[in-house]
Amino acid sequence: GGKPTTATIQADKPGPVYDRLIFTQFAEHLGNGIYGGLWVGNDKSIPNTNGFRNDVVAALRNLNVPAIRWPGGCFADEYHWRDGIGPKARRPVKVNTHWGGVTEPNSVGTHEFMELVRQIGAEPYIAGNVGNGTAREMAEWVEYMTAPAGSLAEERARNGRKEPWKVPYFGVGNELWGCGGNMRPEFAADETRRFATFVKAPAGTKIVKIAAGANVDDYSWTDAMMRIAGSQIDGLSLHYYVHPAGGWPPRAPAVDFDETGWADALAGAWRMEELIAKHSAIMDKYDPQKRVFLAVDEWGAWYAQDPGTHPGFLRQQNTLRDALIASIHLDIFARHADRVRMTAIAQMVNVLQAMILTEGRKMVLTPTYHVFEMYKPWQDATVLPIAIDTPWYGKDRFTMPAVSGSAVRGKDGKVHVGLSNLDPNVANTVTVKLEGLSAGTVSGRVLTAPAINAHNSFDAPEAVKPAPFTGARIDGGTLTVALPPKSVVVLDLQ
Ligand code: AHR
């Protein structure tokens, strides 16, 4: 056994709210993220409601997905909303130039996306086109969706929707430093000011505007955006992916990795801590009140795509390693919940670090899905400070704290504690001092598996799934947790 871990939870010093929007999902027109994964249209062989598959929608409903970011990603900055409204037979077929060069039938457009959001019980987070669209086109899309009256509202009604939709969150472009237009930061900030000006909410409503933020550690981008456009926006995004095996382009296999690949990826997840701290410090300089939030609206692991899958579809399996990547991120977001009030894992179905994989009519829930399900009590909970003193785990040059964790007081009034043991070989007993809290009982669940690369396949869909956890007890003011190697544990105290 390794050196034990000690921790203190200060239940009497409640922190910020852990915004439910931290569990936002990202669904891009990419590979089978939308077509096949969510939308099957008229394919009667796959049970669906108004074109969206019932199995996938039910699984996502169970996660309480708060919001869905759509239609991209890179796709957003070349998307023209008028291509996706009106009779399907008359919608133009385009080429998806970013993702695989396949045809984009535009069968899923604004009305269909809003139907998906309704079925899942989420809110829409629409990403507008700054890259090759105009400010007028963006303004008219917003008007089409939200206006109570006028000719665009009448067109919307003719297309089947009389009532305006609510568009609570709107992205002013995506990755303007790259696929969104290869802009320099000052120019992007000016463009953001101009486009954001014309994103107007109808009287009595509010549209939260999120600007296209930095790539990874591009701190000068955040600085320019905050300095030039900070007063015009409500949120600023940040994109960071975990790329083991040497960074871009993604080359690490999703399943066929050894312990070095495990440690490399988990150290990559830990890097998010430093990135958020440094971007937040820049935002603090311009916005000490923390009015503008940091929206980490693309995160997760990005590996080489699975062998034999369509190029450009970014299809990757999801293992126990991805579960730990997810829990490490969710714990980091707790420590920064004062500034990080929205994040979106990339992506929801069949793309990158997905919740769900489908193939034809088959569906499987990934280990990442199970972590999101286990962390549901974090949604809109109050963060409780937790200080963790843990040994280090490392393999080769990849080292990190062995135990990650976060604690919240849920909306149910109970205290929930998440603890992950990143060490794949050594169990760790965590002794947690509970301050300002008199809990008598503890129960919980654990997600683990015999192998570091254990995963769920269509043949073995339950190889990695949560199980009841019996390794925790409370004695007086002390919680003791026997964390198995390579595990995520979530506890409920009462
Ligand atoms: O999530 C895949 C792509 O990654 C997105 O389209 C883009 O924004 C990012 O580069």
Cα–Cα distances (Å) from 38 to 6, 55, 100, in that order, read 44, 9, 18
Between CA 217 and CA 360 the distance in angstroms is: 39
For domain 5-10+385-493, the CATH superfamily is Golgi alpha-mannosidase II (2.60.40.1180)
Nearest atom in ligand 1 to 298's CA? 1
pLDDT over 70, % of the chain: 100
- What is the residue-wise DSSP string for 377-441? GGTTEEEE-EEEE--EEEETTEEEESEEEEEEE-TTS-EEEEEEE--SS--EEEEEEEES-----
Q: What is the best residue among 78, 125, 239 to mutate for testing ligand 1's pocket, by most ligand atoms within 8 Å of CB?
A: 239
pLDDT over 90, % of the chain: 98
CATH 3.20.20.80 residue ranges for the chain? 18-379
Closest by CA position to 137, among listed 185, 175, 85, 179 = 85
**153-163: pLDDT as tens digits:** 999 999 999 99
Mean pLDDT of 263-273: 98
Instruction: Name the closest-CA residue to atom 7, ligand 1.
Output: 73
Instruction: Name the closest-CA residue to atom 5, ligand 1.
Output: 73
Domain 18-379 has CATH 3.40.190.10: no
**39-60: pLDDT as tens digits:** 999 999 999 999 999 999 999 9
Instruction: Name the closest-CA residue to atom 2, ligand 1.
Output: 73
pLDDT reported for residue 225: 98
pLDDT reported for residue 3: 81
Peptide bond between residue 289 and the one before it cis (omega within 30 degrees of 0): no
**373-413: pLDDT as tens digits:** 999 999 999 999 999 999 999 999 999 999 999 999 999 99
Mean pLDDT of 321-350: 98
Cβ burial 398-421 (10 Å sphere, 16+ → b, else e): bebbbbbbbbbbbeeeebbbbbbb
Checking if the pLDDT of 2 tops 90, the result is no
This prediction has a pTM of 0.98
CATH 2.60.40.1180 residue ranges for the chain? 5-10+385-493
pLDDT reported for residue 470: 96
